[in-house]
């Protein structure tokens, strides 16, 4: 693990944290008090800080899991923000935060792939390696898609409750 990888993940976490703070304080929904935006952003900021601090201490497998999770979170927050604000000509500074957050999420996703690629096992014959890797991918896909209706229900429920809630 190189210091560059740590800097990439820390930068992604900081950009996402700045975006969360901006949305929770400066660009909050009309009619909501600042005190209404403490719990959600506070928990998210704790997760971001913990990720940035924990990343360099993890082995490659843990880093390869943590970076894409942070990346998916950042990318989702950035894209949802851009959809909400709009991307028309003459965009606002508010759209810049969503763009930077989405870009940071993409970088963290790529980082997870790079870490995983560098840490791959190279022992055994080539045929055994590729068979093992294929079986791992098939098993992961089977686990992810074994109950797609449950996965869909949880994901849409999360977005409905936490990210798309437009009530004051």
Percent of the chain with pLDDT over 70: 76
Report pLDDT for 108: 92
Give the residue from 20, 22, 1 showing the smallest Cα distance to 12.
Answer: 20
Report pLDDT for 49: 93
Which band of pLDDT confidence, cut at 50, 70 and 90, is reported for residue 118? confident
**pLDDT tens digits, 75-104:** 888 888 887 776 655 556 667 888 899 999
Structural domain span for residue 89:
3-120
Report pLDDT for 21: 86
Report pLDDT for 103: 93
Are 51 and 9 in a shared domain? yes
At what angle are helices 60-85 and 3-21 packed, to 10 degrees? 30
Query: Quick check: pTM over 0.75?
Result: no
**pLDDT tens digits, 28-53:** 777 777 777 777 788 888 999 999 99
Are 113 and 150 in a shared domain? no
Are 128 and 80 in a shared domain? no
Alpha-carbon distance 18 to 81, whole Å?
Answer: 13
Are 107 and 133 in a shared domain? no
Q: How many domains does the chain have?
A: 2
Are 63 and 100 in a shared domain? yes
């Amino acid at each position: 693990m190189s210091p560059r990888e740590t800097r990439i993940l820390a930068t992604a976490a900081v950009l996402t944290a700045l975006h969360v703070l901006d949305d929770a304080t400066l660009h909050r929904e009309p009619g909501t008090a600042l005190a209404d935006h403490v719990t959600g952003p506070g928990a998210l900021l704790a997760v971001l800080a913990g990720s940035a601090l924990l990343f360099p201490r993890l082995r490659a497998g843990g880093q390869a899991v943590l970076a894409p999770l942070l990346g998916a979170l950042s990318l989702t927050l950035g894209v949802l923000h851009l959809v909400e604000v709009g991307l028309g000509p003459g965009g606002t500074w508010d759209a810049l935060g969503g763009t930077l957050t989405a870009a940071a999420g993409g970088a963290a996703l790529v980082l997870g792939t790079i870490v995983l690629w560098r840490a791959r096992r190279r022992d055994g014959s080539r045929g055994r390696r590729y068979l093992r890797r294929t079986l791992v991918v098939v098993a992961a896909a089977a686990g992810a898609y074994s109950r797609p209706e449950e996965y869909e229900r949880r994901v849409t429920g999360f977005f409905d409750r936490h990210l798309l809630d437009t009530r004051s």
